[in-house]
Structure 1
Amino acid sequence: MSQFSRRQFLVTALASAAVASCTRQNQSRSNISTTASRIVALEWVYVENLLALGIQPIGVADIRGYKTFVDIEPKLAESVVDVGTRQEPSLEAIAQLQPDLIIGTQLRHETIYDALSAIAPTQLFNPYPDSNTLSQFDEMQQTFRAIAQRVDRREAGETVLRQMQDTFQAASDRLRSSKQNTRSFILGQFNEATPQIRLFTDDAMAVQILNQIGLKNAWKGQLDRFGFNTVGIEAFPKIEQASFLYIAGENNTHLKQLRENPVWKGLKFVQEQRLYPIGAETWVFGGPKSAQLLVEKVTATLTEK
């Protein structure tokens, strides 16, 4: 920073946070009152939400990662400033942008909430609520509406959600007419970093979205806060009757190796050609636009064969 050192900044930020509010709840209520326009988003789902509402954030955590994994329109403007990683955003970079709102997650940013709030009013959401009280899909919509209200785009927000539901209805009708909604599915995700595969559970938002179009999840693994279990090939024989939807690039190293595995080759969904790729850039932790894109991709791949 140009006027004072990093240490001075951190000391000032923390001191200001202590003065500004006795509790996080009171600070949120007292500081977040006016319409925000200069917004820093520290998690990709909130970047997506702002773009869906017609707002370009001024700062985003891990822009490169966002552009790699989140494939929605409109795109992020080249003028948006990268403010570090999602897990450890740069307080200095955020402060230099002089935002009037910072949006993050409880999971990543709870520990720096006071420092963030000293820079600008800060809202932290929880995309992974207790599944007994609120589903991930419902939380996504609830948070989207909260952000729309905060930026005075409530009507635009409801339009986006209606478009999402219209896409769901059209997909449901298409799958029903093609009789592709009669077989259960499993949803997997391959990662270059590990040979193991993520299988999404019933408490995952992606599964809840696919339930909306009439598909039923065959994977009944242990429910997990993040909505998936990490498994090896030994998990698949029990669910080989289902169709396998998967997220991976065609050049994924572990997917290539799996195709040469005798156990894999013997699975019924492999032998019966019920393997359905939906692309490596399919983001299953996003907002309404990503939900819409997921449904479009799943419907297309299930009905084109």
Structure 2
Amino acid sequence: MRLHRLAAVAAILALASTACGSVEDDAADTGGPAGQTSDGDAAASADDGPVTVTDGRGEEITLDAPATTVVGLEWGVIENLVSLGVMPAGAADVEGYSAWVSAAPLDDSVTDVGMRGEPSVDAIVGLDPDLVVATTDLAPNVVEQLEEIVPVLVVRAAAAERPIEQMRDNLTLVAEAVDRSDQADELLADLDAALADGSEQLDAAGVAGDRFALADGWVEGNTVNVRAFTETSLAGAVAEELGLESAWELEGDPDYGLAVTDVEGLTGLGDVHFVYYSNDVEEDPYATLEGNALWESLEFVESGDVHRLPDGIWMFGGPRSVEQLVDAIVGTLAA
């Protein structure tokens, strides 16, 4: 996802193309070739009749029939398609998706159509899709160019004022376009059950109501930049749904609820569960702080309350990624 709206230093844009941009379940669970369900039957047929949906821009999109050959241009919507049982014909940055999103793996039939911010129109057209699914992070001129050729469904990438609800809305909207509303209902019901169960486990472990700070980060020169997932981020809102209290006093950006600070900015956190994730196995940014006097003096470091989450959890994804996050948080704090 491109974090061009993030109210922070320009350095975060570099992170957005790597840490935010550039395991495997049984393939039968996530679908077969593009446009096929897991049992090989067509995902939908022309006999199903026309489908009209209103997308995140307020634009009305009408399809002759539920889409079966779909291209996804952002990892969240790609995850939703796979989770719904529709393996996309094409996806943006397949290698990056496979590294960062383990909840809904792609199969070998999926064609890479370029980077998320700069997809190849030629590659997309070559797949002859019924529908392209993008987000509001994609430049409007690219959307307009694609719309001259193929219907484009645009969902709002994120909404800090209602992060969990926006995630749910995006799944529901994509499901309507591919005739998978029943599957969407099942996914959301599973998520609700996971949240309720996770909350019960944290309560039983005596950590309900504890202060919690989730972050990722990156190393720039000799500095570790800390990216905070505030209470208005999707991950932060999930933690609060589990009964934890966000310790971040930083204000997140209006879309993703993210904020940037440094190690000195952690001094006000006090006694918290500090939880972070880093898909970069070569340079864990927080491991590089070992021996740093300021880091070592932090209360949660002194008490050993620092935890790294498993790799491959996409913090900006759909229900399956959120379930992974729930499992990771509960497994870390209720162990």
**TM-score > 0.5 by shorter chain:** yes
- In the alignment, which residue of structure 2 is the partner of 1:276? 307
| 2:285 is aligned with 1:258 | no
Alpha-carbon distance, 1:220 to partner: 1.4
Alpha-carbon distance, 1:285 to partner: 0.4
Cα gap change, 1:27 to 1:282, in 2 (>3 Å): closer
| 2:78 is aligned with 1:51 | no
Give the one of 226, 230, 243 matched to 1:201.
Answer: 230
Cα gap change, 1:72 to 1:130, in 2 (>3 Å): closer
Alpha-carbon distance, 1:175 to partner: 0.4
2:307 aligned counterpart, secondary structure: strand
Contact 2:136 2:154 in 1 (8 A): yes
Give the one of 280, 295, 303 matched to 2:326.
Answer: 295
Alpha-carbon distance, 1:274 to partner: 0.9
- In the alignment, which residue of structure 1 is the partner of 2:268? 238
Distance (Å, rounded) in 2 between the aligned partners of 1:100 and 1:28: 17
Alpha-carbon distance, 1:261 to partner: 0.5
What is the TM-score when the length of structure 1 is the normalising length?
A: 0.86
1:285 aligned counterpart, secondary structure: coil
| 2:167 is aligned with 1:140 | yes
Q: Deviations over 1:140-176 (max 9, x none)?
A: 1011011111111111110010001111111111000
- In the alignment, which residue of structure 2 is the partner of 1:35? 66
Percent sequence identity over matched residues? 28
After superposing the two structures, state which structure 1 stretch, 218-227 or 230-239, moved more: 218-227
AA partner of residue 321 (structure 2): S
Distance (Å, rounded) in 1 between the aligned partners of 2:270 and 2:311: 22
Distance (Å, rounded) in 1 between the aligned partners of 2:328 and 2:219: 22
- In the alignment, which residue of structure 1 is the partner of 2:152? 122
Cα gap change, 1:181 to 1:192, in 2 (>3 Å): same
Give the one of 99, 106, 117 matched to 1:68.
Answer: 99
Greater Rg over alpha carbons, structure: 1
AA partner of residue 331 (structure 2): A
1:229 aligned counterpart, secondary structure: strand
Q: Deviations over 1:89-129 (max 9, x none)?
A: 00000000000000001222322122111221101111233
Distance (Å, rounded) in 1 between the aligned partners of 2:269 and 2:296: 14
What is the TM-score when the length of structure 2 is the normalising length?
A: 0.78
Structure 1 segments of 4 or more deviating over 3 A?
24-28, 30-33
AA partner of residue 251 (structure 2): Q
Give the one of 240, 257, 261 matched to 1:227.
Answer: 257
Distance (Å, rounded) in 2 between the aligned partners of 1:299 and 1:25: 33
1:107 aligned counterpart, secondary structure: coil
| 2:108 is aligned with 1:78 | yes
- In the alignment, which residue of structure 2 is the partner of 1:10? none
Distance (Å, rounded) in 1 between the aligned partners of 2:219 and 2:267: 23
Alpha-carbon distance, 1:222 to partner: 1.7
Contact 1:28 1:122 in 2 (8 A): no
2:253 aligned counterpart, secondary structure: coil
Contact 1:28 1:121 in 2 (8 A): no
AA partner of residue 227 (structure 1): G
AA partner of residue 242 (structure 2): I
- In the alignment, which residue of structure 2 is the partner of 1:188? 215
Contact 1:110 1:124 in 2 (8 A): no
AA partner of residue 243 (structure 2): G
Which structure 2 residue ranges, 5 or more long, are not aligned?
A: 1-54
